[in-house]
């Protein structure tokens, strides 16, 4: 798996919107965060053009990767439509010009499309408009971007959130995954997640318990869990009552898992939202519950 180079102060970073246009003021606020980290931010030409402009959104991806002065590509927000771009991307451009590609939610589809066809590490992390604006931003969320500059490995333990074990054990493998809905949508396509020998991350938002159960069942019947080495569960629901139902679904589904399963990672649609590299080696333990991830940059 190809790792992009770590960022340095003064590097240029592109902000694009493959999943639809961001709220303008929120984007400005998030860009200031990146600038305060020492980055020079370049906004894609078509960030505000709307969800129906597939070719324009695609061109922003290609231009960002073709420009040798740009060292990172941050997605502005989630939304819809990333899957439509996946077959249109020139993955050879990405492979020949590896750089940080960062996002989550609907961007999950592109994170694994890039894995499959460019063999490049990608990053599941907080987005510029939706997570780094003045209302949502937290110190923890912001600090999870810093390993892109320092090259440090990632350690996630109960100091970050109260981790709970659903199935005990130790597992090592590539970290893959992301939004459950997008992972399910990708099944049967050339862009589906490869979980063989992997630690699988799953998170979602605003989906009721019965939908979570249905999607997990879909993945199980598709063989996704047959060769995983571990599962980490992020956040799933803002409504406390529904979240309790989801926790029961997760407990029942993973209770007999022959691999470690740990829940309550603040990764995904939550605050704080910790960013992590995908495609790199990780180790999941349950005594104590802890996830160690190697650096995503060189």
Catalytic residue among 26, 46, 63, 105: 105
Burial (Cβ within 10 Å: 0-12, 13-18, ≥19) of residue 203: buried
Strand partners, 263: 164, 233
Inter-residue contact 26 to 85 (CB < 8 Å): no
For 237, list phi and psi in degrees, rounded to 5.
-160, 140
Catalytic residue among 63, 142, 203, 207: 203
Cα separation, 244 vs 116, whole angstroms: 35
Q: Is 207 a catalytic residue?
A: no
Q: Is 269 a catalytic residue?
A: yes
Q: Is 203 a catalytic residue?
A: yes
Inter-residue contact 78 to 127 (CB < 8 Å): yes
Give the C-alpha distances (Å, rounded to integers) separating 44 from 17, 21, 74, 76, 93.
8, 11, 10, 10, 17
276-278 vs 289-293, strand pairing mode: unpaired
Cα separation, 286 vs 46, whole angstroms: 45
Instruction: Enter the tokens of residue 278.
Output: 């995908």
What are the residue numbers of the active site? Answer: 105, 203, 269
């Amino acid at each position: 798996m190809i790792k992009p180079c770590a960022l340095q102060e003064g590097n240029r970073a592109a902000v694009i919107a493959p999943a639809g246009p961001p709220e303008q003021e929120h984007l400005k606020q998030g860009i200031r965060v990146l600038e305060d980290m020492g980055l020079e931010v370049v906004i894609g030409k078509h960030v505000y053009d709307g969800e129906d402009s597939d070719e324009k959104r695609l061109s922003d991806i290609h231009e960002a990767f073709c420009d040798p002065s740009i060292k990172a590509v941050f997605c502005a927000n989630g939304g819809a439509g990333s899957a439509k771009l996946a077959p249109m991307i020139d993955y050879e451009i990405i492979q020949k010009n590896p750089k940080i590609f960062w996002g989550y939610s609907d961007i999950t589809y592109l994170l694994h499309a890039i894995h499959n066809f460019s063999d490049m590490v990608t990053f599941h992390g907080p987005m510029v408009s939706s997570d780094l604006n003045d209302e949502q931003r937290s110190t923890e969320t912001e600090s999870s971007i810093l390993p892109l500059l320092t090259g440090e490995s990632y350690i996630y333990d109960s100091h970050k959130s109260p981790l709970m074990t659903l199935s005990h054990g130790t597992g090592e493998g590539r970290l893959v995954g992301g939004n459950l809905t997008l992972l399910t949508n990708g099944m049967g396509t050339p862009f589906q997640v490869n979980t063989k020998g992997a630690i699988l991350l799953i998170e979602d938002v605003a989906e009721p318990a019965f939908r979570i159960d249905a999607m997990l069942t879909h993945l199980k019947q598709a063989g996704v869990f047959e060769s995983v080495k571990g599962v980490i569960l992020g956040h799933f629901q803002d409504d406390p009552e529904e979240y309790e139902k989801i926790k029961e679904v997760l407990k029942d589904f993973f209770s007999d898992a022959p691999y470690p399963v740990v829940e309550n990672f603040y990764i995904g649609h939550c605050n704080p939202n910790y960013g992590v590299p995908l495609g790199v080696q990780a180790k999941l333990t349950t005594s104590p519950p802890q996830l160690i991830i190697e650096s995503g940059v060189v």
